[in-house]
Structure 1
Amino acid sequence: MGDYGHPLAFGAFLTPGNAEPGRVVSLAVLAEQVGFDLVTFQDHPYQPAFLDTWTLMSFVAARTGAVRLAANVTNLPLRPPAVLARSVASLDLLSGGRVELGLGAGAFWEAIEAMGGRRLSPGQGVRALAEAIDVIRQVWDVGARGGVRVDGEFHRVVGAKRGPAPAHDVGIWLGAYKPRMLALTGSRADGWLPSLGYLQPGDLGRGNTIIDDSAREAGRDPADVRRLLNVTGRFAPVGRGPLDGPAEQWAEELADLALSDGISTFILGSDDPEDLRRFAAEVAPAVRELVAGERAAGTAPATAPATPGPTPTGAPVAPRPPAVAGAFAVVPTPDDGVRRSAIRVWDETTRPTGPAPDPARAYTPHDQAGAQHLIDVHDGLRAELNRLYDLVEQVGAGLVDAGTARSHINTMTIRQNKWTLGTYCESYCRVVTTHHTLEDRGIFPHLRRGDARLAPVLDRLEQEHHAIHDVLERVDRALVAFVSVADGMAELRAAVDLLSDTLLSHLAYEERELVEPIARLGLN
């Protein structure tokens, strides 16, 4: 099927065990801290060893501020759709638009029946799910006239008042495997959410075909359906099989799934904190780089049929207009000149500049997308730096408490805060290192071959990469001091300030000099 061109996202799939109820909450908070876009939880209301997923999501929403949340997937047979719609909308409003809705037709029917649910055949489950989607969308559609009315075989709602509307357009993602569920996904849903472990070779391609055909029959663009995937695996020094090996292997395999099968959201099923850190710090940025490079090189998203096809009414679908070239419109992020540290790692006045752009040259949207990607990647690093500062201040507040006569338990909690900060800083340093390694080994040589006039700029950028790595080592040393002495906050703050100065200055310089050459020469 190929690439649908959706922006990439990365999530965690956590087990809501109730033996240590705080553990899953801590994992969700950690996932946000290390940069995940999404945190999801199993939903098995009949499982007494699990927390109730919607109660858990509400608690996690209150403990986080940016990460999106979803059940993976909601057990519909035990959750009436009208009530579920209001639960989703309410939590979306309370969380500032951070809730999505994964839905399943149901499984483990004996357990569902034991909880008071109705046992359904596979066909009945699909029909019940289709009716439930109608109910949910009508509840959210507060602009429509009249009450909610669905007189279905399994769900009957006769005039219920609409609302509340969610804070944002909540995505409905279906956990689908069989043809009828896949067809429903294409015609009615916003996303397809299977688990890789339940798929056979070729199932992703076959599923995409059914979804795409069903979407077109319903008058929709197949690209309206996001493709998500739950994945599991093992990090190891040497590769032994699919998703069983080093982070570089994971990145290559997930990038291939994005480009060949259109997967744009990868959700890691693991309750191991180190797995979550490695996935966010090493795998996710590398996948973004690999996919962006292929997209910029000319891999066309498979979002429309190659030739015009008929709509359900028989009218021809107009082909998409060709990209029109125009002036260069990508705006580099300026250096605001703010410096927090008195230390200067380099002399900014000695930075070379590259060739002036040709004012007569036109750039296609495809050209400019590659240039914009550099800024997007840098914006991710800037956001992570802000999170790092926030976390330093949070832990600093914990150290103030350490100055009082706290109990041994409180002291251990503060040590845990230190440990969390340390691992997060290390994860952030790995993100920066991975980004710079990809530039030095891939993008920079390509630009050097494409335009020899860029050599002085590229030489300087590579030198600054090495200098930034030295600054990262200073952060590491400050972390050691922070954990080992009573008050290492001053040294840690100074190290992070220096990291902020050098990194933000470098990113602005790199964008100023490279966005136009990347648009002109491509990424590889």
Structure 2
Amino acid sequence: MTDYGHELKFGGFLTPDAGDPERVVDLVRLAEQDGLDLVTFQDHPYQPAFLDTWTLISYVAARTERISLAGNVLNLPLRPPSVLARSVASLDRLSGGRIELGLGAGGFWEPIKAMGGEQRAPGEAVAAVDDAILIMRELWDTEQRGGVRVRGKIYQVEGAKRGPAPAHRIGIWLGAYKPRMLELTGRAADGWLPSLSYLQPGDLTRGNKIIDEAAEAAGRSPSDIRRLLNLDRTRPEELAELALTEGIGTFIITADDPNTLRRFAAETAPAVRELVAAARRGGGSGPDLTPATGPVQSGGTGSDVFDRLGVQPTPDDGTRLLPDQPWDESARPHRDIVPQQEYDPQGTAIGQHLIDVHDHLRQELETVRDLVQQVKQGTIEASRARSVINELTLRQNNWAMGAYCASYCRVLTQHHTIEDRSMFPHLRSTDPELAPVLDRLAEEHGVIHEVLEELDRRLVEHLKAPGEFTELQHAVDRLTDTLRSHLSYEERELVEPLARVGMYQGQV
């Protein structure tokens, strides 16, 4: 539960799409125009569908005036640290101090090897980042005399001349998830830059603890390390809580859609800043993060109910990937509920179990999305696949994605069938006023079934024509929009009734 007191910053995480490079540049200019602080790009030098990230950063630096730029994160195995240090410092001087350095140890070793890079064991990969930080900082330090000499475990520099010095102190932010990289972050880096979609509950707290302890052991203050986070959702209350309890100081939205970037800059960022400022003032006159109390008004179950339950449904932040939706969310019925004074612990556990099941589906959805992205990139992450793939070919990627999509869609359909045949009738009989909500949920299950069928059709078409991703991506985005919306609506409406009337957990 830590607030490091950092000034809040907001940015975008863009795809360096080689198919439409001018659109990428336009998105950066839009982000700057709308007031975002930072734009970052993923870096996969082995991906021919992507622009080279460093070349892109250099180009957009010349097309912008204020916004900061960074890789998210740069691929160290294919970017030698001594050369990278001079490149970063040079561009920082040319851009007026607008370059930061997100750095990664590497992960997709097969394509890295295919490009001439060296595959490293986990310990070697961490050691390489450790060496690189020292080398780059030494090369940037022009106040010291003599050449740079670093004899690291992976990289060695023998008398390299110093300079040029960057225009400002460049932050080195590490994409870190495991203990050794987290320890290195606290000991030697300036920032921690994970992606929320790759984290499990509690990972931020655990990661902060490792970083803080390493920083203190190195004689540093934990607040010396900025905490950044790549996001796929934008609910202001959730982001404010992450700032106040997990110390996140920079929020980066993963989006290639101009409307999403614009809303993030114009709506989300000011709201989060106001919420955090009010909390840091000790309440003040700003918005209050404390849920309201009293009877529930229109719009379904209120937060006071969930506070009493000790169960928190996953909120829907309203972000959608596609402009059109298969249903009208404003037409959803709601069952207004006045909370009970107390709830039976077993009933509360049933409500939580529904959320747990949904969280599993959400996690699986992110895996499907990740697999599609890896197919588009020509790579696949071993931890996300069913088995380690030694040779990454398009056919093998398609097989992995197809097998997983089929499994996931089957699990989701079974979950909805159980609800329709067991849970919904039980709730209908014990709480007749829930009937409109249950009818609507059953209708949405039918829609989601059609969305899943469409995803399957597009997947089959893609397997026949592997070069085309537009329709497949559209189908995955449609599933993402409908499922996230539906699961949040269902939890908001049913968690309290389940806690109140009871049900066997096996039926959920």
Q: Letter of the 1:128 partner, please give it.
A: A
CA distance in 2, matches of 1:91, 1:14: 20
Q: 1:11 is paired with a residue of what secondary structure? A: strand
Q: Which residue of 2 aligns with 1:69?
A: 69
CA distance in 2, matches of 1:139, 1:2: 34
Q: Could you tell me the TM-score, scaled by structure 2's length?
A: 0.55
Q: Which residue of 2 aligns with 1:56?
A: 56
Q: Which residue of 2 aligns with 1:279?
A: 264
Q: Which residue of 1 aligns with 2:3?
A: 3
Q: Which residue of 1 aligns with 2:239?
A: 254
Counting only pairs closer than 5 Å after superposition, residues 489-508 of structure 1 correspond to structure 2 as none
Q: 1:173 is paired with a residue of what secondary structure? A: strand
Q: Which residue of 1 aligns with 2:151?
A: 151
Q: Letter of the 1:120 partner, please give it.
A: R
Counting only pairs closer than 5 Å after superposition, residues 333-352 of structure 1 correspond to structure 2 as none
CA distance in 1, matches of 2:242, 2:22: 34
* Correspondence 1:13 to 2:13: yes
> How many Å apart are 1:151 and its aligned residue?
1.1
Q: 1:297 is paired with a residue of what secondary structure? A: coil
Q: Which residue of 2 aligns with 1:297?
A: 282
The 1:32/1:3 distance shift into structure 2, 3 A limit, reads same
> How many Å apart are 1:298 and its aligned residue?
7.2
> Structure 2: which 5+ residue stretches go unaligned?
285-508
Q: 2:248 is paired with a residue of what secondary structure? A: coil
CA distance in 2, matches of 1:80, 1:133: 11
CA distance in 2, matches of 1:161, 1:298: 53
> How many Å apart are 1:232 and its aligned residue?
0.8
CA distance in 2, matches of 1:153, 1:196: 31
* Correspondence 1:209 to 2:209: yes
Q: Which residue of 1 aligns with 2:456?
A: none
User: What are the Cα deviations for residues 475-502 of structure 1, in whole angstroms up to 9, with x where unaligned?
Assistant: xxxxxxxxxxxxxxxxxxxxxxxxxxxx
CA distance in 2, matches of 1:298, 1:181: 37
The runs of at least 4 aligned residues of structure 1 exceeding 2 Å deviation read: none
Q: 1:149 is paired with a residue of what secondary structure? A: strand
Q: 1:154 is paired with a residue of what secondary structure? A: coil
The 1:139/1:298 distance shift into structure 2, 3 A limit, reads farther
User: What are the Cα deviations for residues 351-400 of structure 1, in whole angstroms up to 9, with x where unaligned?
Assistant: xxxxxxxxxxxxxxxxxxxxxxxxxxxxxxxxxxxxxxxxxxxxxxxxxx
Q: 1:142 is paired with a residue of what secondary structure? A: coil
> How many Å apart are 1:75 and its aligned residue?
0.2
Residue among 273, 288, 292 paired with 1:288: 273
CA distance in 2, matches of 1:200, 1:153: 32
* Correspondence 1:190 to 2:190: yes
Q: Which residue of 2 aligns with 1:229?
A: 229
Q: Letter of the 2:163 partner, please give it.
A: G
Residue among 247, 252, 255 paired with 1:270: 255
* Correspondence 1:42 to 2:42: yes
Q: 1:210 is paired with a residue of what secondary structure? A: helix
CA distance in 2, matches of 1:68, 1:256: 25
CA distance in 2, matches of 1:217, 1:151: 23
CA distance in 2, matches of 1:124, 1:151: 14
Q: Which residue of 1 aligns with 2:133?
A: 133
Q: 2:253 is paired with a residue of what secondary structure? A: strand
Q: Letter of the 1:254 partner, please give it.
A: L
> Structure 1: which 5+ residue stretches go unaligned?
234-242, 244-249, 300-524
CA distance in 2, matches of 1:98, 1:177: 26
Q: 2:60 is paired with a residue of what secondary structure? A: helix
CA distance in 2, matches of 1:85, 1:149: 15
How many residues get paired?
284
> How many Å apart are 1:48 and its aligned residue?
0.4
Q: 2:281 is paired with a residue of what secondary structure? A: helix
Q: Letter of the 2:225 partner, please give it.
A: V
> How many Å apart are 1:153 and its aligned residue?
2.1
CA distance in 2, matches of 1:20, 1:175: 27
Q: 2:159 is paired with a residue of what secondary structure? A: strand
CA distance in 1, matches of 2:151, 2:206: 33
Q: Letter of the 2:169 partner, please give it.
A: D
User: What are the Cα deviations for residues 230-259 of structure 1, in whole angstroms up to 9, with x where unaligned?
Assistant: 0013xxxxxxxxx5xxxxxx0000000000
Query: Percent of aligned positions with the same letter in both sequences?
Result: 69
CA distance in 2, matches of 1:37, 1:271: 16
Counting only pairs closer than 5 Å after superposition, residues 237-252 of structure 1 correspond to structure 2 as 243=234, 250-252=235-237
Q: Which residue of 2 aligns with 1:488?
A: none
Q: Which residue of 1 aligns with 2:219?
A: 219
Counting only pairs closer than 5 Å after superposition, residues 105-120 of structure 1 correspond to structure 2 as 105-120=105-120
CA distance in 1, matches of 2:111, 2:120: 12
Q: Which residue of 2 aligns with 1:364?
A: none
